[in-house]
Amino acid sequence: MSEIAIRCEGLSKRYRIGQREARYKALRDTLTDVLAAPVRKARKVFAGNSSAQNFNGQESIWALRDVSFEVKRGEVVGLIGHNGAGKSTLLKILSRITKPTEGFAEIHGRVGSLLEVGTGFHPELTGRENVYLNGSILGMRKSEIERKFDEIVAFAEVEEFIDTPVKRYSTGMYARLAFAVAAHLEPEILVIDEVLAVGDAAFQKKCLGKMNDVASAGRTVLFVSHNMQAIQSLCRNTLLIKSGKVEAFGNSKSVVVRYLAGIAEMGSEVRWPEESAPGNQEIKLTALRVYTDNAAEGIYSSSEELNVEMKFTARSKHSGLCIGFDVVNSEGVVVARSYQTDLPPEQWPEIRLGENKWCCTIPRGLLNAGLYYVSPRIGVHNMYWIVNADPTIRFEVILDHGVSPFWNTLNAASRPGVIAPIFKWAS
């Protein structure tokens, strides 16, 4: 048996962009196409390699370009990159959903894919019926589903509602059941795309534990996530994709540090045009700003309060919106996460139709010296994300004698610890 589970050589994928929807073809159109086919073929021969730049004159884009790597059997490899880097395209090729334009991929073993949690669920069917339907779509045999049925339902915590149509499920119940089915696949190779973004914090922890069990069982796993802590915890090696090409492949910690350093510019503010802003039709994030009252751009003193300002437009007053951000350090560790829902409901800022500007204050002396990133997040009941952005703004915190004169006297660049608050002491 081969020691290599996945091998890609020169893998490339090109898509047409701006392609018009094909119109209905009459019989005369079909006959014309048949008669014109020899002429088109001759043109292609004389045109040589001109088709490498476009498809019949239409503009094209390379989603992947010359991607080569190997994953050994039993290895757990992370796959990271900013949104639009080509990660999902690579997974679709490995899962045999789409074909590459150039190059090839060898897969040695049965593949199970978790590319979209809940794919194949039918709202009119019960939870029980959807377990069988979804399991079949994901490649499970009926005997496997029957053997694991009780375990799946228990994991999803929906025993009481298993014979209820899923259209009556809450968003959280739907997501839990969908993940539970997918998580109990038993292929030799498991391809996972951002499945830890479902459910509340407790269920996400449960999902991470299940993925850890899968990894410990000796199966080959290709794991895509924006959760850098999960990547470093589960994966010894990580592949970084940038603009469709392999940017780095190696030790997860070093690759994560390189990824974070390259995706956020040092500064204090990022703005998006509304037509391309992160979000959906209901809500869009239009600006993110980090600032203090007295600071050079992108460099802040630990002795001052740090403000994180989020601007967004709302088309409806959705009652379940959670609006906030992560503060991530240079090693990909989430130092803090904050939402407006952390406060009592009567203290939540009001969501107005149209433009909104909210500001969150990080207390003075909380962050230790070092580089940090802000990743904006907007979710619904913390069950699914409307905005789940990559680290967007990079800034630096320097220790100030106003917070800790002792450490400043020692000329220490940083004190130990992820954070550096000043606690009260008494005798």
Instruction: Please report, for the domain that includes residue 330, its CATH number.
Output: 2.70.50.60
283 and 242 within one domain: no
100 and 26 within one domain: no
Say what the pLDDT of residue 410 is: 45
Nearest to 187 by CA among 112, 255, 253: 112
378 and 312 within one domain: yes
Q: With bands split at pLDDT 50, 70 and 90, how would you rate the model's confidence at 364? A: confident
Lowest mean pLDDT, pick from 45-49, 349-353, 413-417: 45-49
3: in domain = no
What is the rounded distance in angstroms from the CA atom of residue 420 to the CA atom of residue 368?
5
Domain count, the chain: 3
- With a cut of 90, say whether residue 225 has pLDDT above it: no
Host domain of residue 18? 10-63
1: in domain = no
Say what the pLDDT of residue 233 is: 82
Give percent above pLDDT 70 in the chain. Answer: 81
398 and 328 within one domain: yes
What is the rounded distance in angstroms from the CA atom of residue 51 to the CA atom of residue 65?
16
What is the rounded distance in angstroms from the CA atom of residue 69 to the CA atom of residue 63?
17
Q: With bands split at pLDDT 50, 70 and 90, how would you rate the model's confidence at 154? A: very high
Say what the pLDDT of residue 136 is: 85
Q: Hey, what's the torsion of the CAs at 171, 130, 159, 184, to 10 degrees?
A: -90
42: in domain = yes
The per-residue pLDDT for range 33-61, each reduced to its tens digit, is 666 666 555 555 554 444 344 555 568 88
Q: Are 126 and 165 in contact (CB under 8 A)?
A: yes
Q: Are 166 and 130 in contact (CB under 8 A)?
A: yes
2: in domain = no
**Residue 94, burial from CB neighbour count under 10 angstroms (0-12, 13-18, 19+):** buried
4: in domain = no
Say what the pLDDT of residue 296 is: 55
The per-residue pLDDT for range 295-329, each reduced to its tens digit, is 556 888 888 889 999 999 998 877 788 999 999 98
pLDDT: is 158 or 381 the higher one? 158
Q: Mean pLDDT in the chain?
A: 81
Nearest to 168 by CA among 181, 158, 154: 158
Say what the pLDDT of residue 405 is: 52
Say what the pLDDT of residue 49 is: 45
Say what the pLDDT of residue 179 is: 79
22: in domain = yes
Q: What per-residue string of b and e applies to 252-275 under the rule 16 or more CB within 10 Å gives b?
A: beebbbbbbeebbeeebebebeee
Q: What is the DSSP letter of 368?
A: P
108 and 221 within one domain: yes
Query: From residue 262, how far is each of 24, 240, 363, 393, 396 by CA, in Å?
Result: 46, 11, 28, 11, 15
89 and 217 within one domain: yes
Say what the pLDDT of residue 362 is: 92
Q: With bands split at pLDDT 50, 70 and 90, how would you rate the model's confidence at 193? A: confident
Q: Are 62 and 209 in contact (CB under 8 A)?
A: no
What's the rounded mean pLDDT across residues 269-278? 88
CATH number at residue 104: 3.40.50.300
Q: Hey, what's the torsion of the CAs at 102, 104, 110, 115, to 10 degrees?
A: -30
416: in domain = no
Say what the pLDDT of residue 361 is: 93
Cut 0.85: pTM above it? no
115: in domain = yes
Say what the pLDDT of residue 51 is: 39
Say what the pLDDT of residue 261 is: 79
**Domain's final residue, options 238, 263, 288:** 263
- With a cut of 80, say whether residue 139 has pLDDT above it: no
Query: From residue 35, how far is each of 38, 55, 427 by CA, in Å?
Result: 7, 20, 96
Q: What is the DSSP letter of 295?
A: -
State both tokens at 38: 């020899």
**Domain's final residue, options 207, 231, 263:** 263
Say what the pLDDT of residue 100 is: 93
Q: What residues are paired with 270 via a beta bridge?
A: 288
**Domain's final residue, options 25, 42, 63:** 63
What is the rounded distance in angstroms from the CA atom of residue 89 to the CA atom of residue 93?
6
Q: Using alpha carbons only, how large is the chain's radius of gyration in Å?
A: 25
Say what the pLDDT of residue 172 is: 74
249 and 118 within one domain: yes
pLDDT: is 209 or 66 the higher one? 66
Q: Are 130 and 121 in contact (CB under 8 A)?
A: yes
Q: With bands split at pLDDT 50, 70 and 90, how would you rate the model's confidence at 409? A: very low
376 and 251 within one domain: no
248 and 301 within one domain: no
Say what the pLDDT of residue 19 is: 54
Q: With bands split at pLDDT 50, 70 and 90, how would you rate the model's confidence at 402? A: low
259 and 138 within one domain: yes
102 and 30 within one domain: no
Q: Are 395 and 269 in contact (CB under 8 A)?
A: no
119 and 247 within one domain: yes
